[in-house]
A and B are shown apart, each in its own frame.
Chain A
Amino acid sequence: MKKSVILGVATIAGLAAGAAAAGTADDVKARGKLNCGVASGVPGFASPDANGEWQGFDVAVCRAVAAAVLDDPTAVEFIPTTGKTRFTALASGEIDMLARNTTWTFSRDVDLKFEFVGINYYDGQGFMVPKALGVSSAKELDGATVCIQTGTTTELNLADFFRINNMSYEPVPIETNAEAQQQYLAGACDVYTTDASGLAATRATFENAGDHVILPEIISKEPLGPLVRHGDHEWGDVVRWTLNALIAAEELGVTSANIDEMSSGATDNPEVNRLLGTEGTLGEMLGLDANWAQRAIKVGGNYGEVFAKNIGEETPIGLARGLNAQWTDGGLLYAPPFR
């Protein structure tokens, strides 16, 4: 109580210590809260429910990091960001990490000076059209009106795609997914383009989902992942290996159901032991305790469980694993070894 009261005083003064000098990890521990930037509303990835609790796939990454660092998955302040404000919020230290389906690109990494710590979702830009249009390939879209969500790399990819294929189109830029969906359904555009995950999620909520098809072409690579500021490698490592722990847990068969059993004593698999902290000192090297990965995995389970719970085929979003399957299943997920 006392500590929080003092915190209240600091809030009134409006000044919270910046993250400039001390490491972000120490700041987060001192603050007792993780400030995590998320999207202000993307179905399945981040959205607040009726009680103001944030839900979603990106949100789960934030919670896992909070659990690993602070031993409390609820010790997260979710800060909604827009396409415009997300990078400033991160650069200025307002947020400690950004998990807002952000595409890893060269200029964001190098020029804007951020560090992408990994990829939590392999996406790509696709097209959705009404079945009645009779279009089966994106190459047939010459002259079409295309709804795009702005503020992302989407409009650049689209311009390039039509340019390369020597086709003309009419772009209709739209700020949010919800508005884009409305325009598309009313026929104000022929095609809706955004990341394939977004298309599937949007389509799933249509009154007549069967009347719309997602075209086979994926016109861009959109590796989406959490990012932190350049230069703070300790913190970058924490976020990176928390994400990797979730991925590796799936590969190693550690689930929220069997994790208590597996971590109660050493198992036969040394890597599982290292991951769960029953062997070795990986946690110490990160500046955390031995059980950090256990806690991260316990929040919502391993990567596969998080996926299935938020955007998987059982949910209204209904995404297949596809590229996001483990490398052993033909996907691209490949966590570096824990040793």
Chain B
Amino acid sequence: MSDVSFVRTEMLPEKEPPASEVGILGWIRHNLFSSWLNAILTLAALYLIYYALSNILSWTFESVWNANSLSECREIMMATWGDTHGHACWGVIKDRWLQLLYGFYPPYPAHPDATWSNPPETGGWPAYFRPNLTFILLLVSIAPVLFTKAPRKLLFVTAAYPFLLPWLMWGGSIWGPLMVAAGFAIGYFVYKLALPAAGSLTALILAIVLPILWWLFASGPVAVAIDSVIPIGIEPVQSRDFGGFMLAILLGVVAIGVSLPIGIVLALGRQSDLMIVKYLCVGFIEFIRGVPLITLLFVASLLLNLFLPPGTNFDIILRVMIMMTLFSAAYMAEVIRGGLAALPRGQYEGADSLGLNYWQAQRLIIMPQALKISIPGIVSTFIGIFKDTTLVSIIGLFDVIGLTNGIRADTAWNGVYWELFAFIGVLFFVVCFSMSRYSMYLERKLQTGHR
């Protein structure tokens, strides 16, 4: 008899999963048509996408680039498609993109008569060299703060940047910003010298008072005096020539940069045990956060001159910068307060147990950690401020939106609408989206680092 075995001796080969469960089909089934409701949702979504894209794409790509005025655009549209609707006239962007990006900033500040299309014969620097360099340096100077892999040496650029930015953008003598920077050096040396002689508190007071006196009374005349001996400088540019997208970036960077120290002080003040200090800080923060930015801009454009001594006259961009800085300082204070609150109590107690005093503890233990936690919050505050810079168009500054009014007042482009706003929307989206992605990446990184 043969051996009749019912036991299978070898494994069956693994079967392919059913075709409806794997591959593209399975994916579709699972992710798009898992139930009736989902199927309906999917179909509705597909229709929505088709509807939006079919309109937008044809408008975007069946368009006119080479035209010098709207009427010329319309003629070309009539000739090509027999219809003026549903086609973009990108000629306006081609004609005005530099203005939308840089406002009226002279492309070659040293040659006032030269324009982009008509560069100076002597060569000169590349057009818009200064704002571009300022922007590149900005990226370089924040790299060590944002990316841990960046070389630490770049921190020197970061320290110099607050003085480089105004010099590159406004131009003028190098000695002005240098003398302002000298104030900090004076403070530092006074502190070092006075510390052994007069004790820490007196040294600190001296280190605060002397630089302020220097800035108020001496730095200007000294800068002028040195400049008359050794004139080093670049052509100045009036701040009213600033505009376009550059203005939005500049306002955002200045507001955030300057508001960071103010925000730290306010956040510490809000957490302090000193009652009056605390209430002053709370009052300031809640006041600024309670009113819309547009009213603060009204203050900048209409009232700030009233509040200052008779005869002082700030230029409007500086006034707006001041108010935007105060505005972002209040938000910054709240972000940093969040960072402080997120620190475990043990950090404070640890600092105390080491016998550090308040400022030492803040400087060495608390702030480095709290600021690190706050970076995502600071980035999103920046995005918010950056988007809010568009409001300056309401008080008549030529930022991108203000420029659309100026451009449409030109008889050549009167009546253009969607092209300009689409361009602006895309500009903002690209910048804000990449920043928010970065902040999300950072948030993830910090979360794993901290827990």
Task: Give me the interface of A with B, judged by CB distance under 8 Å.
Answer: 1-2, 4-9, 11-21, 39-44, 46-52, 55, 77, 79-82, 84-85, 88-89, 92-94, 176-178, 181-182, 185, 201-202, 204-207, 315-317
B96 within 8 A of A: yes
Beyond the given A9-B173, A19-B313, A94-B315, please list 10 additional residue pairs across the A-B interface where CB-CB is below 8 A: A8-B170, A9-B175, A16-B313, A16-B315, A40-B396, A43-B411, A47-B406, A77-B240, A205-B70, A315-B411
Partner of B311, one of A1, A21, A51: A21
Beyond A40-B406, A316-B411, whether A12 also contacts B310 by CB under 8 A is no
- Chain A residues contacting B71 (CB-CB under 8 Å) are 205
- Chain B residues contacting A1 (CB-CB under 8 Å) are 231
- Chain A residues contacting B395 (CB-CB under 8 Å) are 82, 84-85
B411 A50 Cβ-Cβ under 8 A? no
Beyond A6-B227, A41-B405, A94-B313, whether A81 also contacts B396 by CB under 8 A is yes
Partner of A15, one of B171, B227, B312, B410: B312
Once bound together, how far apart are the Cα atoms of A202 and B241, in whole Å?
Answer: 28
- Chain B residues contacting A315 (CB-CB under 8 Å) are 411
- Chain A residues contacting B238 (CB-CB under 8 Å) are 11, 77
Once bound together, how far apart are the Cα atoms of A182 and B298, in whole Å?
Answer: 27
Beyond A4-B235, A12-B177, whether A51 also contacts B115 by CB under 8 A is yes
Can you name the residue of chain B whose Cβ is closest to the Cβ of A316?
B411
B158 within 8 A of A: no
Per-residue A-contact encoding for B81-99, CB less than 8 Å = 1, 0 else: 0001000000000011011
Once bound together, how far apart are the Cα atoms of A201 and B414, in whole Å?
Answer: 10
B415 A85 Cβ-Cβ under 8 A? no
B166 within 8 A of A: yes
A178 B409 Cβ-Cβ under 8 A? yes
Task: Give me the interface of B with A, judged by CB distance under 8 Å.
Answer: 70-71, 74, 84, 95-96, 98-99, 103-104, 115-116, 166-167, 170-173, 175-177, 220, 223-224, 227-228, 231, 233, 235-236, 238-241, 298, 301-302, 305-306, 310-316, 318, 394-398, 402, 404-411, 414-415, 417
Partner of B408, one of A39, A41, A49, A80: A41
- Chain B residues contacting A21 (CB-CB under 8 Å) are 311
Once bound together, how far apart are the Cα atoms of A176 and B402, in whole Å?
Answer: 10
- Chain B residues contacting A316 (CB-CB under 8 Å) are 411
B415 A17 Cβ-Cβ under 8 A? no
Once bound together, how far apart are the Cα atoms of A41 and B298, in whole Å?
Answer: 20
Separation in Å of the B251 CB from the closest CB of chain A? 15
A5 B172 Cβ-Cβ under 8 A? yes
Once bound together, how far apart are the Cα atoms of A39 and B398, in whole Å?
Answer: 12
Partner of A11, one of B99, B236, B310, B411: B236
B166 A2 Cβ-Cβ under 8 A? no
- Chain A residues contacting B103 (CB-CB under 8 Å) are 52
B310 A88 Cβ-Cβ under 8 A? no
Once bound together, how far apart are the Cα atoms of A101 and B153, in whole Å?
Answer: 56
A85 B396 Cβ-Cβ under 8 A? yes
- Chain A residues contacting B311 (CB-CB under 8 Å) are 17-18, 20-21
Once bound together, how far apart are the Cα atoms of A316 and B69, in whole Å?
Answer: 12
B398 A80 Cβ-Cβ under 8 A? yes
User: What are 5 sample pairs from A and B whose C-beta atoms fall under 8 A apart?
Assistant: A14-B315, A16-B315, A88-B305, A205-B70, A205-B414
A47 B409 Cβ-Cβ under 8 A? yes
Once bound together, how far apart are the Cα atoms of A315 and B410, in whole Å?
Answer: 12
Separation in Å of the A61 CB from the closest CB of chain B? 17
Partner of B176, one of A9, A42, A47: A9
Beyond A85-B396, A181-B415, whether A5 also contacts B233 by CB under 8 A is yes
Can you name the residue of chain B whose Cβ is closest to the Cβ of A35?
B240
Which A-B residue pairs are the 3 nearest by beta carbons?
A8-B172, A41-B409, A8-B236
- Chain B residues contacting A317 (CB-CB under 8 Å) are 411
Beyond A15-B312, A94-B313, whether A9 also contacts B227 by CB under 8 A is yes
A92 B313 Cβ-Cβ under 8 A? yes
A50 B96 Cβ-Cβ under 8 A? yes
Can you name the residue of chain A whose Cβ is closest to the Cβ of B394?
A82
A93 B410 Cβ-Cβ under 8 A? no
- Chain B residues contacting A40 (CB-CB under 8 Å) are 396, 398, 402, 405-406, 409
Separation in Å of the A10 CB from the closest CB of chain B? 8
Separation in Å of the B80 CB from the closest CB of chain A? 16
Once bound together, how far apart are the Cα atoms of A9 and B408, in whole Å?
Answer: 35
A88 B104 Cβ-Cβ under 8 A? no
Can you name the residue of chain A whose Cβ is closest to the Cβ of B219?
A13
Beyond A40-B402, A177-B409, A205-B411, whether A79 also contacts B173 by CB under 8 A is no
- Chain A residues contacting B104 (CB-CB under 8 Å) are 48, 52
Partner of A9, one of B116, B220, B397, B407: B220
